[in-house]
Amino acid sequence: MLIVKVVKPLVSTNRIPDFEHKHLQVVLDGSTKKVAVDAVGAKPGDWCICVSSSAAREAAGSKSYPSDLTIVGIIDHWEPDPPKTSSSAPAPTTGQQSAAKPSGGAAS
């Protein structure tokens, strides 16, 4: 299973007969755009669960159905991991922390 974000609907007027009444969505899997059959009525911006391979065909309606990615669920709440950065700010050293935070003792 995959977690993807729906980008927008895909309109295709000329399709093979078994593919006529299925809604298609452009989804984002990481940085890759893919097309998925929408079995649940997802909207742009929704985070969804997708299945692939034979599970996608069966979820779309038949094992002989021509789909390799099908949306099977809309996620109610999802916070994706923030993108990883190649360099992060170094943690302050002990000396820097004590300079920023006085010791609290009175000077004599």
Does 88 or 20 have the greater pLDDT score?
20
Instruction: Kindly report the average pLDDT of the chain as a whole number.
Output: 80
pLDDT at 102 over 70: no
Q: What is the pLDDT of residues 23-76, one digit of tens each?
A: 899 999 988 999 999 999 999 999 999 998 888 888 877 777 788 899 999 999
Long-range CB contacts (< 8 A, 24+ apart) of 25-33? 25/71, 27/69, 27/71, 28/4, 29/2, 29/4, 33/7
pLDDT of residue 3: 94
pLDDT at 91 over 70: no
